[in-house]
Amino acid sequence: MQIQNQIISTVPIFEVSETLKEVIQFFEETTFSHVAITENGFYIGLLSENDLPCFEPDKKIEDFRFELETFHVTKETAWLDVLEMFSRNEANILPVLDENKVIVGYYDLEDVVAVFIDTPFFKEPGGILVVATGEKDYSFSEIAQIVESNNARLLGAFITDSQNDVVQITLKVGTMNLNEVAQTFRRYNYTIIFGNSDDQFLEDLKQRSDYLEKYLNV
């Protein structure tokens, strides 16, 4: 999945030699969590909206150099890594750098999530199955084989939890009848956590989707 066309250039970039006046105005007028700072045109880090109470209009950005966060991505960064970077840094905006550490634009979390939701994992009809097994006992090739041995398509799979050497893997399977698929997983010593369209997992997913939609509309 390509997300490079989601790079935006409408969010400002500030030079470290500038005052904080416009940075304060930027955070007060937007919902973005960070904004990028450059020195002589090269990226050096991000100011966080969390530091806004400490900002004074007449002070220089330079005064907060040691408070800058340095996370970023490049145009070559895979979309899953982009999502991970958003999550790990509790950010809703990411600077995108070229090979010379020059900022080419930003990724907005809302845009990237919209692309993710538009994938077959979410859009194609099918059922959700969540299985658990030992951290050293699973393989995605085996998971795909189990699904396909029941004449079903595996639309996507990813690890959604990992604790005490046990992993939970969420699957999107191209069928609503998951009984045979679930029984096969049990024969391979997988524990079925959720396995039909009426289970609590889908209700939780719906609630989280509703929450995300409200968050993006703030």
CATH number for 131:
3.30.70.260
Under the banding of pLDDT at 50, 70 and 90, the label for residue 210 is low
Looking at the fold, whether 92 and 66 belong to one and the same domain comes out as yes
Looking at the fold, whether 55 and 103 belong to one and the same domain comes out as yes
Domain harbouring 107, CATH code: 3.10.580.10
Boundary-marking domain end, from 86, 116, 146: 116
Looking at the fold, whether 110 and 127 belong to one and the same domain comes out as no
pLDDT for 197? 44
Boundary-marking domain end, from 116, 135, 170: 116
Enumerate residues 6+ apart whose C-beta is below 8 A from 47.
14, 23, 34, 35, 37, 61, 64, 67, 68
pLDDT for 1? 64
**Cβ neighbourhood burial of 69 (10 Å; 0-12, 13-18, 19+):** middle
Look up tokens 């030079």; give the residue: 15
At residue 209, does pLDDT exceed 70? no
Looking at the fold, whether 108 and 147 belong to one and the same domain comes out as no
In percent, the amount of the chain with pLDDT more than 90 equals 63
pLDDT for 116? 80
89-112 pLDDT per residue, tens: 999 999 999 999 999 999 999 999
Looking at the fold, whether 30 and 108 belong to one and the same domain comes out as yes
Looking at the fold, whether 101 and 135 belong to one and the same domain comes out as no
Looking at the fold, whether 155 and 90 belong to one and the same domain comes out as no
CA distance 117 to 1: 12
10 Å Cβ neighbour count for 100? 8
Q: Average of pLDDT values for 122-135?
A: 88
How far, in whole angstroms, is CA 63 from its chain's centroid? 31
Looking at the fold, whether 109 and 144 belong to one and the same domain comes out as no
pLDDT for 204? 57
Q: Average of pLDDT values for 162-190?
A: 90
Under the banding of pLDDT at 50, 70 and 90, the label for residue 217 is low
Domain count, the chain: 2
Looking at the fold, whether 108 and 154 belong to one and the same domain comes out as no
CA distance 37 to 61: 8
Residue 164's domain spans which residues?
122-214
**b/e 44-60 (16+ beta carbons within 10 angstroms → b):** bbbbbbebeeebeeeee
Q: What is the CA radius of gyration of the chain?
A: 22
Q: Average of pLDDT values for 52-71?
A: 95
Question: Greater confidence, 211 or 156?
Answer: 156
CA distance 96 to 106: 5
Looking at the fold, whether 137 and 98 belong to one and the same domain comes out as no
Q: Average of pLDDT values for 126-153?
A: 91
The chain-wide mean pLDDT, for the chain, equals: 88
Looking at the fold, whether 10 and 111 belong to one and the same domain comes out as yes
CA distance 112 to 101: 22
Under the banding of pLDDT at 50, 70 and 90, the label for residue 200 is very low
Boundary-marking domain end, from 116, 132, 159: 116
